[in-house]
Amino acid sequence: MSVGPASRTSVTSGSPAAPPAAARPPRTVLLLLAAGIALAALNLRTAITSVGPVLDEVTAGLGMSAVGAGALTTLPVLCFALFGGLAPALARRLGEHRLLLCALTALTAGLAARAVAPEPWTFLALSALALSGGAVGNVILPALVKEHFPERVGLMTTVYTTALALGTTIAAAATVPLEQSTGEWRAALGAYALFGVVAAVPWLLVLRHEPGRGGSGRALGFRQVLSTGLGWQCLLYFGTQSSVAYIMFGWYAQMLRDQGMDAQTAGLALSYLTVLGIPMSLLLPTLLTRTGDQRPFVAGFAAFYLAGLVGLWFAPLSGVWVWTTFVGVGMGSFVFALTAFALRTRTGAGTAALSACGQSLGYLMGGSGPFLFGLLHEVSGGWHAPLLLLAALVVVNLGVGLLLGRPRYLEDVLAERGLTPAASPDGR
């Protein structure tokens, strides 16, 4: 692959050449941006994981039907797909800083208002408002990392993926204690709006340092991304790892309970599986960005996944903590899926487009996983058939990941095919 001198990139980092010193924001601004990215990431899952622990209280308090409860649990996937797909076009219109500030405003307003919602459909609508902010933040954060920290992609990806894991864990773990201490599920859910208020402060302070509408690079849309094998690889990798993760988070505890484990221990095993995401987020991004070829990591994630699934097939309870650890390490594939958006692009615009395509369509794929897993369990009356589905998803994830792990860049693939970013003015 041949590229001009001005566009050459370090193979190990996937980052473009550093901009001239005069073009860099002041150090104080960079610190505010780093803090803003971390605080924004902390908020992106609170609207989702805060509801599950008090779902019974929410449905009873609102008089929500089973249909409404099903809609509430499906809503995150639908919102992530819809609003995440709109993020690049909105970024070009508003600018990335303003868009993220709008996303945090929507998230905060939705979390606060749904806590006082008087009836089910109002609660669902305000939940969708909060989730729309989380969906846009999911897509735009990798682009902001690429835009402002091109030489520190690994470090800043570590920052935001770790903050994302922490926010997910805090909301899952703290909601019940908050509900018990206040005696009210509404107060417990509304408390997370405070996180959004704090996260908005750095972005208010750096608004005047917006680098220009649309960020770096020229507009890229879904059609261009999906005209490349790289775009499809990113989508399928994100979608298959999301399917596996959603299945494990939704069904793991129930599967263990059906094997004879008590509810408290099964819940503890699920919590341990979730917490393992934090060390994965701390360690992996820097390691992934220091090597030009991520295929050994992809193979390692799949090997740990499959080892855990084999253990769950033959001895689900006797080795449960070992199998849970194996699966948790395998879930490091999520970190690679997020890091790949920056590793496989040269510009912030390219990162945003690849992120939007991979996440919006990938989350739709991920959302179907728990349904199919549950359907196989109901039809077969056991857990072996559903575990085979998991194994098949891991194998597909491995095959696609071995292609995605090769060092190349979306913009270069498009240029080689004569499909420049300007070929689709509307970005679609």
Q: What share of the chain is helix, strand, coil (3-state, %, to 5)?
A: 80, 0, 20
**pLDDT beneath 70: ranges in the chain:** 1-24, 211-219, 419-428
Q: Which pLDDT value is given to residue 119?
A: 93
pLDDT at 283: 92
- In sequence order, which residues have a C-beta less than 8 Å from that of residue 163 and are 6 or more positions away? 37, 38, 39, 41, 42
pLDDT for the residue numbered 292: 85
Q: Distance from CA of residue 289 to its chain's centroid?
A: 18
pLDDT for residue 219: 63
pLDDT at 8: 37
pLDDT of res. 220: 75
What pLDDT score was predicted for residue 69? 83
Pair 140, 338: CB distance under 8 Å: no
pLDDT at 7: 37
Phi, psi of 292 (to 5 degrees): -80, -20
Per-residue confidence (pLDDT) for residue 15, from 0 to 100: 45
Question: pLDDT value at position 201?
Answer: 96
CB contact set of 21 (below 8 Å; sequence gap of 6+): none
> For position 47, what pLDDT does the model report?
92
Flag whether the pTM goes above 0.85. no
Give pLDDT, residue 341. Answer: 93
* Residue whose structure tokens are 């070992």: 322
Distance CA 310, CA 312 (A): 5
Domains in the chain, ordered, with CATH?
26-209 (1.20.1250.20), 222-420 (1.20.1250.20)
What 93-96 contacts at long range (C-beta under 8 Å, 24+ apart), as own/partner pairs, is: 93/213, 94/213, 95/210, 95/212, 95/213, 95/214, 95/215, 96/140, 96/143, 96/144, 96/147, 96/210, 96/211, 96/215, 96/348, 96/352
